Structure formats: C-alpha cells, structure tokens
Amino acid sequence: MYSRDLSYTSRVKNALTPLKEWSFQVKASLLKLLCSIKEKVKEISDLNLDFTDQRNKLQTMFLHLKELSDKTDKSFTGAVLAQEKKQLNGLDHLEKRLLKAQKRKYKEIVKRITNIQQELFPKQSLQERQANFSEFYEIYGDELIPLLVKALDPLKLEFYLISPEA
C-alpha cells in the first residue's frame, strides 16, 4: 500500500531511477519477481552461477559407469542410476544455495528490484487496476490524453512505461 506522504510523481521517479542506473531492462521487470531478481543477480555476480558444465561432466561420467554396469550385474545398473540422480539433485541444490548466497551479497540491489516491481505492479496486478486516473492527470495535466494516444497501440499486446520527465 502506498504511503500518502510521498506524491505519486516522486514515487515513480524514485522507482525509475534504478532502471537508468543499472541499465535494468524494463522487459525484465515484467517477468515474475523471482525470475528478474535471479537474472539480475546472475548478471552482476562475479561468479558463474550456472552449473551446466559440471552437470554435463557428471552426466558424461555416469554414462561411462552405465556402460560398465551393462557388462555386469543388473543390480549394479540400478545403483549407478540412483547415484546419478542423487548427484544431479545435489548439484541442483548447491546451485540454488549459491544463488541464495549471492542474493544475500547483493541484497540492496535485490531490494531495489523488488521496489521497482512493486511500484510497476502494485499488489502483483496491473498498475491501472490500483492507481487512480487523477494521479496521472496531476503529473501530466492536459497533455495526458494526447500522450496516451501517441504512445499506446491498442492492437499490440505489450506493456508501456510512460515516465514523467525530470
């Protein structure tokens, strides 16, 4: 819920400042909150947060073990498959823990992304469902309707971000 001590104009300007600061893609803010945070943390992190290479090496190693197990007893094949699944699940768990640690490291950026998301999509719904027309009219005045006519194309199923000029 918005606090009434800040005007809508200043809230919008404050929310949009980080978009310019970190070249945050507006398109990314339209993704689900967790996804956009995950993408931004991966982008700014100095570590490789993707364990695809390790996962491929592990699968290659188990492929050789499967070939070996085919030449031996069937019970060994089951043990190899179970261990492969356990190792891959463990790697997924480690990947999630590393991402969580990086989110803690960059908690200020995560907080700002969350604030942007909440400002653009209050109560996780479209802004026009929450904001009153008069708030926008206060910012733009008589130029609002021509601005909307010029900026919007009702046949395109896209989101538009119209921000007040500083």
Chain segment 53-91, per-residue pLDDT in tens: 999 999 999 999 999 988 888 888 899 999 999 999 999
The share of the chain scoring above pLDDT 90, in percent, equals: 20
Q: What is the pTM of this model?
A: 0.52
As a whole number of angstroms, the distance between CA 75 and CA 80 comes to 9
Among 47, 135, 127, 130, residue whose Cα is nearest residue 94: 47
Is pLDDT at 165 greater than 80 in this prediction? Answer: no
Residues 1-30 pLDDT 10s? 333 334 444 555 555 555 555 444 444 444
Say if residue 37's pLDDT is above 80.
no
Mean pLDDT of the chain: 76
Residue 33 pLDDT more than 60?
no
